[in-house]
Amino acid sequence: MDSYDRSNDTVFVLGADGYLGWPMALRLSALGYRVVAMDNLSKRAWRAEIGVDCLNPVASIKRRIECWLELTGKQIEWHQVDLANRAALNQLVASYHPGAVIHFAEQPSAPYSMVDSDHCVQTYVNNTVGTLNLLWALKRGAPDCHLIKLGSMGEYGCPNIDIEEGWLTIQHNGRSERVPFPKRPHSFYHLSKVADSENIMFACRVWNMRATDLNQGVVYGIDTEETRLHPDLATSFHYDSTFGTALNRFCVQAAAGSPLTVYGTGGQTRGYLNIQDTLACILLSLRHRPDPGEFRVFNQFTEQFSVNELAQTIGEARRECGLETSVVHIENPRIEAESHYYNAKHQALLDLGLEPHLLNQTLITSLIGWIAQYLDRVDLSALENPNVTWASGANRFWARQTAVDTLAAV
């Protein structure tokens, strides 16, 4: 593993307008990296499509960058670009010659990928073709670049064995082999991420590229040291059943005095992490490069909880404040095990120095307090009734603007 701390190096942040991409771009800029931020702004279009806004007002990417410049004198370079645009991507790689690329630029919602064939294919093509184009562009213009790709713990599914970090050594009929950890992903979104991982692994193997695949757990939290500096630097907070993550969603329900809606029996167990730890993990990855040809995988989360445990923790935090929270179990829109073995390893990033921010009642109380100021913006119907199911796709309440299965083929 190369040690790496050339803080003046150029880093691409792809998907820099997103929930995690934006805080990452700020952190890197704060640390003195030359940050080239890119996004096709499709997340804003997808939000408009489903008709539910973020909880908080979010400034435009141009205003965000301007605000950061005003406050700190630091310039984040911005390009609106779609990774489908190979010519533009090749040119950007050739002109900046990045030392590292942090790739968040994917459609990030499992329910969105299950809406219908059109949304499934949109997700699959956006994610896999974007990543393929990136691999070819780096091979051509920056073959020594370190690709840091955001994957998902949901790629693994819920196997009945311990989940290792990307690789597994197995014995079979008296012989041994180190193999990619077998995966059984939860949705077409997760399948697109698995495909990305395999394509990147191949590029490392045949083109001697270096990559880190970060299989991330469910992220919670609202802000970081940099986003707190000004309202126009805030990151987007999603709470709806399509783009919101579980803990964020529960906290909005708690703030609104609504019951927490648990899917099915609630035994589904996943890895979780604080948004601040996301940034820390990526920085650790950036500063410790894999060797050329190495496809390195880290499981990026700090704790694992069942959905019931999450709901319980929130209930306890509210009780501390003298408030009661109720839980309702609703029909599970997903097809998944609701009671299963789950033990996922996450040692590698700790070994590199990660100091986790664990979930506690203080944090939950502060999160709910922050949410409370935006309660007038909450659309509770977007929380209560998941309107995309794994069995039947989207129902008629899902989106105002979607003509299911009638959009042009890709």
Could you write out the DSSP letters of every residue in 76-129?
A: PEEEE--TT-HHHHHHHHHHH--SEEEE--S---HHHHTS-HHHHHHHHHHHHH
Residue 116 makes contact with a copy of itself by CB under 8 A? yes
Please report, as residue ranges, which positions from 386 to 405 form the binding site for a copy of itself (by CB under 8 A): 390-391, 405
Residue 181 makes contact with a copy of itself by CB under 8 A? yes
Please report, as residue ranges, which positions from 43 to 72 form the binding site for a copy of itself (by CB under 8 A): none
Helix and strand numbers (H, E) in the chain are 13, 18
Binder of a copy of itself out of 74, 79, 86, 287 (CB under 8 A):
86
Candidate segments 84-92, 93-101, 272-280, 371-379, binder of a copy of itself by CB under 8 A:
84-92
Residue 337 makes contact with a copy of itself by CB under 8 A? no
Binder of a copy of itself out of 201, 219, 307, 367 (CB under 8 A):
201
Q: Which of 47, 56, 20, 18 is nearest to 372 (CA)?
A: 56
For residue 205, what are the CA distances in angstroms to 166, 296, 365? 15, 12, 47
Please report, as residue ranges, which positions from 245 to 304 form the binding site for a copy of itself (by CB under 8 A): none
Residue 84 makes contact with a copy of itself by CB under 8 A? yes
Could you write out the DSSP letters of every residue in 299-357?
A: EE-SEEEEHHHHHHHHHHHHHHTT----EEEE--SS---SS----B---HHHHTT----
Rounded-to-integer distance, Cα 367 and Cα 241, Å = 18
Token readout for 242 is 């399509």
Binder of a copy of itself out of 102, 194, 284, 394 (CB under 8 A):
194
| Between 29 and 187, CB nearer to a copy of itself | 187
Binding site for a copy of itself (CB under 8 A): 84-87, 90, 116-118, 120-121, 124-125, 128-129, 132-133, 136-137, 140, 159-162, 168, 170-173, 175-177, 179-185, 188, 191, 194-195, 198-199, 201-202, 205-207, 335, 341, 390-391, 405-406, 409-410
